[in-house]
C-alpha cells in the first residue's frame, strides 16, 4: 500500500519505507531468479549471482572482503550469533543502554554464570570513553556496544576501539551498527570490530534481511546448523529476493551518504530549536546522530501525544519499537526523571523528510501541549 501524501513519517529508526530500487530488485528476483542459489543448474547459478553481487555491494560499503559478509534474517539474529558465541569465552563488557538484541543475549549469558560489567551512560546520554577503556581487563573476552543508540542517537566513542584491540588482542569487539550504517562513517579498517550487525529494513530495504560482518580471523559458532550456507555460519536457503533488495538499497544510498547526513542535520537542528522554543526537553546528546532526536513532553504520557499526532497524520514513536509499552532501558540508565521517561518521544529521520514536515510536527506538538494539558 502506498504511503498517503499527507502522512508525515518520522519513525525511521523503527523501520524505513523500501526504496523503489529495492522493491524492483525483489520483484525481479522473485520472477526471474527463483532458483535455489545452491543448485547447480542455470536458475540456481542466476540466483547465486544475485547473492554474490549484493554481498560485494555490502562489503564495499563496509570496506571489507565479500567473504566476511554473512546474510541473516536481521540484526537480532546477527547480534545473537556474535554475542552468544564470543560471550561464552569469558567476561563481557557492555552498557545498560543497549538495544534489546544486545541486552537480552548478554543477560542470558550472565544468568548462566558469565561475569558482566555494565556501563552506565552519563547524564547527557553518552558513554564515557575512559570508563569503557577502564572496564576492559585481561579477563574480558567480549565488548558488545551499539554504535548509535536507537533511542537517543548517542554515538559510541568508536575511536577507542583500535587502542583496546591493540592492548587486548584476545578481546572480541562486537558492534550493533544498525542505526549507523549508511548514516555515519562505518568502515571496518577504522573500527577494529570483529563482528558488526546490520539490518536491511533500517536502510530502506525490506524486513527480514540482515547482515553479520565477521572478520576473517574471527571464529564463531553458528546458531543455525544444517546445510552449511553462508560459510557454515548461517544454514538455510538464502532469501534471494530480500538479499537482492538489500544490495539495491545499499547501492542506491551509498554515493549520497554525506549529502543525506548534511540534510538530516539541518532537520535535526530545526527540531531542536523548535523544542527549545516550546519548552520541550531534548534527551539526545548535542553530538548525537542527527537521524534520531529524543524529546519529551513532561506531564503527557507518550501514548496520548502519539495518538494526538497520529490523528494529524504524523507518525513517530515513544522510543524503541521493541519496548511495546515498557519503560526504556536506555532512558532509565540515563537517570532521567520518570515523567520524562513516560512522556518520551522519538523523532527519527530519513533523507526524504523535509523542513516543512519538521515545522508541521512542531505546530502539532504545540497544539497538543495546549489541548491535552487543558483537558488534564
Residues assigned a catalytic role: 322
State how beta strands 116-119 and 140-146 pair.
unpaired
Buried b (16+ CB within 10 A) or exposed e, 231-243: eebbeeebbbbbb
Distance CA 241, CA 209 (A): 10
Q: Are 155 and 147 in contact (CB under 8 A)?
A: yes
Residues, the chain: 376
Quick count: other Cβ atoms within 10 Å of Cβ 52?
14
Contacts of residues 328-331 at CB distance under 8 Å and 24 or more positions apart, as own/partner, are 328/151, 329/96, 329/97, 329/98, 329/100, 329/103, 330/96, 330/97, 330/98, 330/121, 330/125, 330/149, 330/150, 330/151, 330/152, 331/151, 331/152, 331/283, 331/294
What SS3 state is found at 164? helix
In degrees, rounded to 5, the angle at the alpha carbon of residue 348 between the alpha carbons of residues 84 and 102 is 10
Please report the sign of the dihedral spanned by the C-alpha atoms of residue 93, residue 96, residue 100, residue 103.
Answer: positive
Distance CA 161, CA 133 (A): 9
Q: Which three cell numbers stand for residue 52?
A: 554474490
Terminus-to-terminus CA distance in the chain, angstroms?
Answer: 37
Angle between helices 302-310 and 355-375 (to 10 degrees): 120
Amino acid at each position: 500500500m502506498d504511503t498517503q501524501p499527507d502522512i508525515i513519517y518520522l519513525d525511521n529508526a523503527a523501520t524505513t519505507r523500501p526504496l523503489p530500487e529495492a522493491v524492483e530488485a525483489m520483484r525481479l528476483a522473485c520472477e526471474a531468479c527463483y532458483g535455489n542459489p545452491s543448485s547447480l543448474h542455470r536458475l540456481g547459478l542466476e540466483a547465486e549471482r544475485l547473492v554474490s553481487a549484493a554481498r560485494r555491494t555490502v562489503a564495499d560499503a563496509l570496506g571489507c572482503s565479500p567473504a566476511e559478509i554473512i546474510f541473516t534474517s536481521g540484526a537480532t539474529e546477527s547480534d545473537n550469533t556474535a554475542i552468544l558465541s564470543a560471550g561464552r569465552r569469558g567476561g563481557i563488557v557492555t552498557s545498560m543502554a543497549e538495544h534489546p538484541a544486545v541486552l537480552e543475549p548478554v543477560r542470558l549469558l550472565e544468568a548462566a554464570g558469565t561475569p558482566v560489567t555494565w556501563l552506565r551512560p552519563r547524564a547527557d546520554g553518552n558513554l564515557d570513553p575512559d570508563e569503557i577503556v577502564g572496564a576492559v581487563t585481561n579477563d574480558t573476552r567480549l565488548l558488545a556496544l551499539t554504535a548509535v543508540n536507537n533511542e537517543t542517537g548517542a554515538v559510541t566513542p568508536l575511536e577507542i576501539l583500535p587502542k583496546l584491540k591493540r592492548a587486548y588482542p584476545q578481546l572480541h569487539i562486537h558492534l550493533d551498527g544498525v542505526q549507523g550504517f549508511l548514516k555515519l562513517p562505518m568502515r571496518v579498517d577504522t573500527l577494529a570490530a570483529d563482528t558488526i550487525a546490520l539490518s536491511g529494513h533500517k536502510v530502506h530495504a525490506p524486513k527480514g534481511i540482515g547482515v553479520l560482518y565477521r572478520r576473517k580471523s574471527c571464529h564463531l559458532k553458528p546458531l543455525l546448523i544444517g546445510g552449511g550456507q553462508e560459510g557454515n555460519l548461517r544454514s538455510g536457503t538464502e532469501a534471494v529476493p530480500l538479499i537482492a533488495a538489500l544490495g539495491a538499497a545499499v547501492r542506491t544510498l551509498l554515493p549520497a551518504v554525506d549529502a543525506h547526513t548534511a540534510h538530516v542535520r539541518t532537520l535535526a537542528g530545526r527540531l531542536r530549536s523548535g523544542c527549545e522554543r516550546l519548552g520541550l526537553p531534548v534527551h539526545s546528546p548535542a553530538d548525537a546522530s542527527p537521524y534520531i532526536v529524543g524529546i519529551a513532553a513532561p506531564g503527557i504520557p507518550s501514548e496520548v501525544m502519539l495518538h494526538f499526532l497520529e490523528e494529524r497524520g504524523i507518525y513517530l514513536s515513544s522510543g524503541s519499537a521493541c519496548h511495546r509499552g515498557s519503560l526504556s532501558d536506555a532512558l532509565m540508565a540515563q537517570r532521567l526523571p520518570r515523567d520524562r521517561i513516560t512522556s518520551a518521544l522519538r523523532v527519527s529521520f530519513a533523507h526524504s523528510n523535509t523542513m516543512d514536515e519538521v515545522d508541521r510536527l512542531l505546530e502539532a506538538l504545540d497544539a497538543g501541549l495546549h489541548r491535552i494539558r487543558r483537558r488534564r
